[in-house]
Structure 1
């Protein structure tokens, strides 16, 4: 059930991130993966900032979106540089 929760949050975060960021995105599966990895990264960032476990579903989705947006920015920086080399 825990895996299903992460997939659901990743799906929502990936969808929202795809709408917030300009560009074509990475496709449905990669948006979910970016959302899941972003949720984990956002969780680490918020925990390090002292905001761990402050809310329910809305907080989790917000943290996942923040992490996914940051991850998308990093991915775009890496792929942009590697394509120009």
Structure 2
């Protein structure tokens, strides 16, 4: 059950990040991948800043922030 919740949070976070950064999502699989990678990145960023997020909403916020940062970094690499 935790794995399914992890995938759902990843999909929603990826979709939110896609809408924030480009104005559209990336499809279900693309959103899941962006959200999952973003959750790891967000967890590292929040940990480095000494922030902690608890619960479902905290996980979603952490994953979304990480996914936005990931998409921003990808856009910088694409421009170079």
Could you say whether these structures have the same fold, taking a TM-score greater than 0.5 normalized by the shorter chain as the test? yes
TM-score by length of 1: 0.79
Superposed, 1:70-81 pairs within 5 Å as: 70-81=69-80
TM-score by length of 2: 0.83
Distance 1:27 1:80, change over 3 A: farther
5+ long unaligned stretches in structure 1: none
Separation in 1 of the partners of 2:14 and 2:34?
6
Instruction: Flag the structure with larger Rg.
Output: 1
Distance 1:35 1:70, change over 3 A: same
**Which structure shows the bigger proportion of residues in helix conformation?**
2
CA RMSD of aligned residues (A): 1.7
Superposed, 1:1-85 pairs within 5 Å as: 1-22=1-22, 25-52=25-52, 54-81=53-80
